[in-house]
Amino acid sequence: MIDEEKDLQYKIKSRQIINEILDYGVSQKEIKTIIKLLALELEDTLTMKKIINFLDNDSNIENKSKLEI
């Protein structure tokens, strides 16, 4: 029960942080940059690399489709 309560508190706090960021007024590109910067703060380097690679690949796909237009 205690672990579930802690998880709920972490989720509430995380959601409050997200709301603050969104209230600040950020673009989609800025959100991706924030996610990438937060990923760099992770102690789990495998997860960090996966997130960064995904975002980098996503950016490459966006750039390629813009060039094809």
What average pLDDT does this structure show over 4-22? 95
Domain boundaries, the chain: 2-68
- For the entire predicted model, the pTM comes to 0.73
Six token digits for residue 64: 């390629």
Q: Tell me the CB-side half-sphere exposure of residue 5, using CA atoms within 13 A.
A: 2
In the chain, the percentage of residues whose pLDDT exceeds 90 is 77
In tens, the pLDDT along 22-67 reads 999 999 999 999 999 999 999 999 999 999 999 998 766 655 545 4
Helix, strand, coil share (%) of the chain residues, nearest 5: 85, 0, 15
What average pLDDT does this structure show over 8-21? 96
* Rounded (10°) CA dihedral 58, 29, 15, 57: 10
What average pLDDT does this structure show over 11-31? 95
